[in-house]
Amino acid sequence: MIQFDLLRAGGAEVKGWEDLVRDLELDKIINAVAQKDELVRDVWTRMLLMPETDVESIRYRQEAVRDAIRNRNVIVELYNFTRDVITRTRRATFLVTYDNPEVVVFETAAGMRIMIEAFKDLKGILGRASFSSQAFRGLVDTLMENADDGFIASAKELLSIFDIRNDTMEFSVRLGAQNTLADPTLLVPKKEGGILKKLFNKERAYEFRLDPHDERGAEILGDIRKWVLANIAPTMLNAYESLLRFYTTLSEQLAFFVGAINLHDLFQRLGLPLAYPEFSEGTLSFRDLHCLSLAISLNRRPVPNSLETRNVSAFIITGVNRGGKTTFLKSVGQAILLARAGVFVPASRLVLPSAGAVHTHFQREEERSMSYGKFEEEVIRFRRIVDSLRPGDYVLMNESFSTTNQVEASEVARQVVQALVDSGVTVFYVTFLQDFIYRFIRDNGGRAILLVPERLKDGTRTFRLLQGSVQPGYALEIWDKLVRSGSSGGRSP
DSSP β-ladder status, 394-398 and 426-430: parallel
Burial class of residue 446 (count of CB atoms within 10 Å of its CB; 0-12, 13-18, 19+): exposed
Residue-level pLDDT at 193: 46
pLDDT given at position 105: 84
pLDDT value at residue 171: 66
Query: Among 131-140, 345-354, 427-436, which stretch is predicted with the lowest mean pLDDT?
Result: 427-436
pLDDT band at 236 (very low <50, low <70, confident <90, very high): confident
DSSP string, 136-187: HHHHHHHHHHHS-HHHHHHHHHHHGGG-GGG---EEEEEE-GGG-EEEEEEE
Average pLDDT over residues 65-81: 98
Distance, in Å, from the CA atom of 256 to the CA atom of 342, rounded to the nearest integer, reads 10
Kindly tell me if the per-residue pLDDT of 160 is higher than 60. Answer: yes
Residues 258-297: tens digit of each pLDDT:
999 999 999 999 999 999 999 999 999 999 999 999 999 9
Strand stretches in 282-410, DSSP E? 283-289, 305-310, 314-317, 349-352, 358-362, 394-398
For 467, the enclosing helix (H) or strand (E) is strand 461-467
Report whether pLDDT(369) > 50.
Answer: no
3-state secondary structure of 396: strand
Q: What percent of the chain has pLDDT over 90?
A: 55
Q: Which helix (H) or strand (E) holds 236?
A: helix 215-270
Q: For 302-319, what is each residue's pLDDT tens digit? A: 999 999 999 999 999 998
**pLDDT surpassing 70 at residue 334:** yes
- Percent of the chain scored above 70 by pLDDT? 81
Contact of 39 with 249, CB cutoff 8 Å: no
Number of Cβ within a 10 Å radius of residue 179: 6
State the average pLDDT for the chain.
Answer: 85
Residue 457 CB-density burial (10 A; 0-12 exposed, 13-18 middle, 19+ buried): exposed
Smallest Cα–Cα separation from 393: which of 313, 317, 326, 325?
A: 313
What confidence tier does 38 reach under pLDDT thresholds 50, 70, 90?
very high
Q: Cα(260)–Cα(238) distance, rounded to whole angstroms?
A: 33
**From start to end of 243-353, where are the E strands?**
278-279, 283-289, 305-310, 314-317, 349-352
- Amino acid letter, 15: K
Rounded to 5°, the CA angle 478-468-454 comes to 50
CB-CB contact of 350 with 335 (8 Å): yes
Question: Average pLDDT, stretch 483-489?
Answer: 63
pLDDT at 195: 43
Question: What pLDDT is attached to residue 245?
Answer: 95
DSSP string, 430-450: E---HHHHHHHHHHHGGGEEE
Give buried/exposed letters for 88-113 (b at 16+ CB in 10 A, else e): ebeeebeeeeeebbebbbbbbbbbbb
Average pLDDT over residues 366-371: 48
Confidence of residue 64 (pLDDT cuts 50, 70, 90): very high
pLDDT at 20: 93
Going by pLDDT thresholds of 50, 70 and 90, the confidence category of residue 251 is very high
Residue 474 above 50 pLDDT?
no
Mean pLDDT of 174-178: 70
Global pTM reads 0.85
Q: Is the pLDDT of residue 471 over 50?
A: no
pLDDT tens across 80-108, in order? 999 999 999 999 888 766 778 888 888 88
Lowest mean pLDDT among 3-7, 193-197, 230-234: 193-197
Would you state the pLDDT for residue 322? 81
Residue 370 or residue 408, greater confidence = 408
For residue 285, give the nearest of 305, 260, 258 by alpha carbon. Answer: 305
Residue 463 has phi, psi (to 5 degrees) of 65, 20
Task: Give the C-alpha separation, 484 to 493, whole Å.
Answer: 10
Higher-confidence residue of 1 and 138: namely 138
d(CA 120, CA 217): 44
Compute the distance between CA of residue 266 and CA of residue 351 in angstroms, rounded to an integer: 23
Q: Which of 51-65, 196-210, 270-284 has the lowest mean pLDDT?
A: 196-210
pLDDT (0 to 100) of residue 135: 97
Confidence label for 360 from pLDDT (cuts 50, 70 and 90): very high
What pLDDT was estimated at residue 191?
Answer: 56
pLDDT tens across 386-412, in order?
A: 998 999 999 999 988 888 788 888 899
Task: Give kind and range of the element (H or E) at residue 407.
Answer: helix 406-422
Looking at the predicted structure, is the pLDDT value of residue 336 above 60?
Answer: yes
